[in-house]
Structure 1
Amino acid sequence: MTTASTSAPSESQSFLFVTWFRSRLLARWYERHLQRRDLAEIDDHLLRDLGLTPEDVRRECAKSFWRA
């Protein structure tokens, strides 16, 4: 017979999941920050090749790191 305690995640499993989730979230935010910083450094000629305007770049770089 299976009890509810064996099918539920243990406290350590929950802690590991939350720790993993937080680390992935922080990594995603940091990567987004780096991408926006790199985007801000692209010159106008390359922006035109990408189909972006300086206003597009300003708008994207003005976003907070947690916003996609």
Structure 2
Amino acid sequence: MTSRTASNAVPVGPAGRLPFPFVILRRLHPRLLARWYDRHLQRLDLAAIDDHLLRDLGLTPEDVRRECAKSFWQA
């Protein structure tokens, strides 16, 4: 029987190098990650607004669909 333990260690690839996605994430500035997460949450909130409030904001359902279809890094 093997035991599993949670580990925060990053997997290391051949020759002791970090896998490509980890190299990129390590170099990103923390504020950029916070901005991306905030943008993601704002789009979730926008998708939850009903049509009546969208009209008050001057937005159409198509505007909302277009905005919510963007990836988190796209402004």
Two-structure CA RMSD over aligned residues (Å): 1.3
The amino acid across from 2:66 in the alignment is R
Q: Say how many residue pairs are matched.
A: 49
Greater relative contact order: 1 or 2 (C-alpha under 8 angstroms, separation 6 or more)?
1
Tell me, yes or no, if structure 1 residue 67 matches structure 2 residue 74: yes
The answer for the alignment partner of 1:53 in structure 2 is 60
Identity of aligned residues (%): 84
- CA shift at 1:22, angstroms? 1.1
Q: TM-score, normalised by structure 1?
A: 0.69
Hey, what's the Cα distance between the residues in 2 that align with 1:53 and 1:22? 34
Q: Between Structure 1 and Structure 2, whose CA radius of gyration is higher?
A: 1
- 2:37 corresponds, among 5, 27, 30, to 30
Residues in 1 aligned to 2:33 and 2:50: alpha-carbon distance in whole angstroms: 29
Structure 1 residues 12-46: Cα deviation after superposition (integer angstroms, max 9, x where no partner): xxxxxxx8x61000000000000000000000000
Which residue pairs with 1:12 in the alignment? none
SS in structure 1 opposite 2:33?
helix
Quote the offset at 1:61 in angstroms: 0.1
